[in-house]
Amino acid sequence: MKTSVALHTYLQEQRARVEAALQNVFPVDWAIPERLREAMDYSLLAGGKRLRPILALAAAEAVTGKEETSDRALAFACSVEMIHTYSLVHDDLPAMDNDDYRRGRPTNHKVFGDAMAILAGDGLLTHAFHVASRATDDGVSAERALAVIRELSCYAGLPGMVGGQVSDMLGEQGITSLEQLEHIHLHKTSDLIAFSLRAGGHAAEADERQVEALGRFGRNIGLAFQIQDDILDLTGSADKLGKPVKSDERQHKVTYPYLLGLDESRRRVSELTREATDALLQVGLAKPERLLEIADYLLNRDH
């Protein structure tokens, strides 16, 4: 799929907004040990698509139809990116995935050592909640900010991403069912995407039905994205994807195509996408088109 000029421009502009905001998440008057700050910045400012924060901004705009509404979601957007980054720093550690490179350069622990990488992750995680609380400075009500912080602790925590990571780790001993595989990806991948959209909705003062619909949209798109990733690992080209293909097959990983076959996996992506779209279009959002466009870009990529 070739990205439209308008969507490409939008993604570039929102990514730049997020990058600029992330440069300023640590207060300059705080006495943070310099080495810790360097380690946190090393991973937090390493680039990437910034998908989750962009979805938070786009969700806020979708509720009211006004671009300026997304300003109120910027603190939440930064907080979810900090959570995502800490999870990558910890995932890369020798005790976890033991990866040497992330985004084309040495992983955090390869540069700063295991102990500092752990502490950098801890710092990013805890400071994410401080950043989320600062949404009140941008016009978000204290009630909505508290709701988002409470949700973040769940979606990123024990019943969410952390729980999903544990299930994935234990699943290496042998996943035997589709239910097990789906549980892992719903919590390891989809939960932060669903949270990002719900947070954007809260920032724009969406009603309960709209917030729930944004969350369902994120849940389904996150799961569909993972299934599509599994499909592309078998059918895509390394040049277009920018990473080796058939790695899941070589590592004997249990994936959706492994359990369902390619045709049924593709049908599942279509079903999840349709359900996500229906959820979004039935709750009176002022401008849902951008979110649908982003989802289409993610799920029909061969890049």
pLDDT at 176 over 90: no
pLDDT at 14: 98
Average pLDDT over residues 268-279: 97
Instruction: State the average pLDDT over residues 258-286.
Output: 96
pLDDT digits (tens, 9 = 90+) for 211-254: 999 999 999 999 999 999 999 988 865 455 454 555 555 556 78
Q: Can you give the pLDDT at residue 251?
A: 58
Question: Which pLDDT does position 233 carry in this prediction?
Answer: 86
For the cut 50, the answer to whether the pLDDT of residue 303 exceeds it is no
Whole-number mean pLDDT of the chain? Answer: 92
Give mean pLDDT, residues 166-172.
85
pLDDT > 90? residue 287: yes
- Segment 102-152, tens digit of pLDDT: 989 999 999 999 999 999 999 999 999 999 999 999 999 999 999 999 999
> What confidence score (pLDDT) does residue 292 get?
97
- Give percent of the chain with pLDDT exceeding 70: 92
Q: For residue 246, what pLDDT is reported?
A: 58
Q: What is the 3-state secondary structure (H, E, C) of the chain?
A: CCCCHHHHHHHHHHHHHHHHHHCCCCCCCCCCCHHHHHHHHHHHCCCCCCHHHHHHHHHHHHHHCCHHHHHHHHHHHHHHHHHHHHHHHHHCCCCCCCCCEECCEECHHHHHCHHHHHHHHHHHHHHHHHHHHHHHHHCCCHHHHHHHHHHHHHHCCCCCHHHHHHHHHHHCCCCCCHHHHHHHHHHHHHHHHHHHHHHHHHHCCCCHHHHHHHHHHHHHHHHHHHHHHHHHHHHCCHHHHCCCCCHHHHCCCCCHHHHHCHHHHHHHHHHHHHHHHHHHHCCCCCCCHHHHHHHHHHHCCCC
Judged against a pLDDT cut of 80, whether residue 67 lies above it is answered with yes
